[in-house]
Structure 1
Amino acid sequence: MAGQFEAIPGGGAAVALDEVEISILRSLAVQLLELIGPGDEPAKGEDPLAALFAEGPSKPPSDPALARLFPDAYGFGDDTDDELREYASEFRRFTENDMRSRKREDGLAVVRGLDALSASGEGGAVLKLTPEDCRHWLGALNDLRLTIGSRLDVSDEDEGESLYRLPDSDPRKPMVMAYLWLGALQETLVETMMP
């Protein structure tokens, strides 16, 4: 899967994707949306403005992938002092709903963009993104890599060097290939967005 984003006139980006790549990206984006969860829509008849001021959770998620997507703002780990833990709890309570909403928007932009592609025969299609679409895609690609990296136990320190040496028989190999491919897509999209 050697597709890479290239800059297009007007500040957007384009990438050629075959049918398999489209299917994989769409499947991963849908799984990410399922992991993040549905939005908190106001119940019928309730004030939609109240949803803007709804408080979110105060504790970090127990799922390691969600904890990676929604990390604590202050301090990390069990050795964090109580005061920092309290600050992190308050920050999460007032920001996590907005973060979830933005991550949902990013994931939905990926799904919608892929659904809008009209495959030109067996060769796939060229996905063209506006500058705004690029920002949504960049956010979603980052979230997908964080989620997969969490599932593979990739830490910031080791940067997954051992992943490159996995034998083909390792059951993690397909997930590793997706992780590396998403990284290449993310890198080329960042390059097209730089002035």
Structure 2
Amino acid sequence: MAGQFEAIPGGGAAVALDEVEIAILRSLAVQLLELVGPGDQPVEGQDPLAELFAEGPSEPPADPVLARLFPDAYGGPEAKPDDEEARAFSSEFRRYTENDLRARKRDDALAVIRSLDALTVAGNGGAVLKLGPEESHRWLGALNDLRLAIGTRLEVADEEDGDELYRLPDSDPRKPMVMAYLWLGGLQESLVETLTP
């Protein structure tokens, strides 16, 4: 089970993690949480229905990682810069969806942190993380977001870029981030397999 999620009865998943892996996963989830932002707290006495329909931002984020986590809904990367109609549609879509998407990404990252914090590390320095079906989906979302964030920082745009990462010399300062990116990919892939009937 080391390093790979395995299916457990009831539709969940389990993985054996050592103390270093737990610390790395927790640190990355905290960083993701900080990147996504705390979100707006509801104002005391405010109508909860009004909060539900609160408008979000209409412009894409300037940070490339946030732009990857919250992409434009229309046009895509191949859109022409002067396509005003696509920009207008994307702006409108973003205004009504980004707050909810940010909240989901925060909830996913928090689920990772909370489940790691609840682990009891054994005398051998490891623990087995067991996730129920809902928690497994939250972990899958967080692992995906972490890989997107790290991949964006590493400027991974396609599979060929990912292949080049394997050939980086150990002296390359990006090597630790590359190792985390590849490790998270393995975790994500094995978790997907446990959730696929």
TM over 0.5: yes
- Kept in 2, the 8 Å contact 1:41–1:51? The answer is no
Aligned-residue offset at 1:88: 0.6
Q: CA deviation at 1:17?
A: 0.2
1:167 has 2:169 as partner: yes
Deviations 1:140-189 (A, max 9, x none): 00000000000000003534111000000000000000000000000000
CA–CA distance in 2 between the matches of 1:88 and 1:158? 29
Which amino acid is 1:45 matched to? G
User: In the TM superposition, what is the alpha-carbon distance from 1:7 to its structure 2 partner?
Assistant: 0.4
Normalized against structure 1, the TM-score is what?
Answer: 0.96
Which runs of no fewer than 5 residues in structure 1 stay unpaired?
none
Task: Indicate the SS of the match to 1:122.
Answer: coil
Tell me the equivalent position of 1:149: 151
Q: Show the counterpart of 1:12.
A: 12
Counterpart of 1:123 (choices 122, 125, 141) is: 125
Q: 2-side partners of 1:46 and 1:37: how far apart?
A: 22
Matches within 5 A, 1:92-131: 92-131=94-133
- Identical positions, percent: 75
Give the direction of change, closer, same or farther, for the CA distance of 1:20–1:157 in structure 2 (3 Å limit): closer
Q: Any conservation in 2 of the 1:40–1:51 contact (CA below 8 Å)?
A: no
Residue 165 of structure 1 aligns to a residue in which SS?
Answer: coil
Mapped partners of 2:149, 2:43: distance in 1: 30
Note the C-alpha offset of 1:40: 1.3
**What is the TM-score when the length of structure 2 is the normalising length?**
0.95
Larger displacement relative to structure 2 (155-164 or 103-112): 155-164
Most deviating of 159-168 and 69-78: 69-78
**Distance in 2 of aligned mates of 1:173 and 1:159:** 14
Give 5+ residue unaligned stretches, structure 2: none
- Residue in 2 that maps onto 1:68: 68
Contact 1:57 1:92 in 2 (8 A): yes
Instruction: Give every structure 1 segment of 4 or more consecutive aligned residues whose post-TM-superposition deviation is greater than 3 Å.
Output: none
- Between the aligned partners of 1:35 and 1:158, the Cα distance in structure 2 is 27
Match of 1:23 in 2: 23
